[in-house]
């Protein structure tokens, strides 16, 4: 198992609500990436945080936002929840070294259900 943790494990919300998901990166890793995995599909890149700043964003609307803290942990916030936001949300941490590709280690995910 990796040292990446996420909370909560499961969450049920209704349309229009807001949600905050949390991720603690593996020791020594300064980069956190967030992915959305719909049922039966591959993970889709949402955004990445490096040294507390957004470092790349996928094709997700602005109601998906994030933060990274000085200890490299991260939050994903989703406003105005829609039914299609129901998915497994994965975070992955990696040591970003000079822009080169580094291995990403995934957390267990948060399963979000929007009713």
Partner 1 sequence: GENVEQHPSTLSVQEGDSAVIKCTYSDSASNYFPWYKQELGKRPQLIIDIRSNVGEKKDQRIAVTLNKTAKHFSLHITETQPEDSAVYFCAGGGGATNKLIFGTGTLLAVQP
**Contacting positions for partner 1 (CB under 8 A):** 2, 31, 33, 35, 40-45, 48, 55-56, 58, 90, 94, 96, 99, 101-109
Minimum CB–partner distance for residue 15 and partner 1 (Å): 25
Minimum CB–partner distance for residue 74 and partner 1 (Å): 14
Sorted by sequence, the CB contacts under 8 Å of residue 39 that are 6+ apart come out as: 87, 88
- CA nearest to 36, candidates 76, 8, 67: 76
Q: Which is nearer to partner 1, 80 or 97 (CB)?
A: 97
Burial code of 56-92, b = ≥16 C-beta within 10 A, e = fewer? eeeebeeebbbebeeebbbbbebeebeeebbbbbbbb
Minimum CB–partner distance for residue 36 and partner 1 (Å): 11
Q: Which is nearer to partner 1, 59 or 71 (CB)?
A: 59
Q: Which is nearer to partner 1, 38 or 80 (CB)?
A: 38
């Amino acid at each position: 198992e990796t040292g990446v943790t996420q909370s909560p494990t499961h969450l049920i919300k209704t349309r229009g609500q807001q949600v905050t998901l949390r991720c603690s990166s593996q020791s020594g890793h300064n980069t956190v990436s967030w992915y959305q995995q719909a049922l039966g599909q591959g993970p889709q890149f949402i955004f990445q945080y490096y040294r507390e700043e957004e470092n790349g964003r996928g094709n997700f609307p602005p109601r998906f936002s994030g933060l990274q803290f000085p200890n490299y942990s991260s939050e994903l916030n989703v406003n105005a929840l829609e039914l299609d936001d129901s998915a497994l949300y994965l975070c992955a941490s990696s040591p970003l070294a000079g822009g080169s590709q580094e291995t990403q280690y995934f957390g267990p995910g948060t399963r979000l259900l929007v009713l």
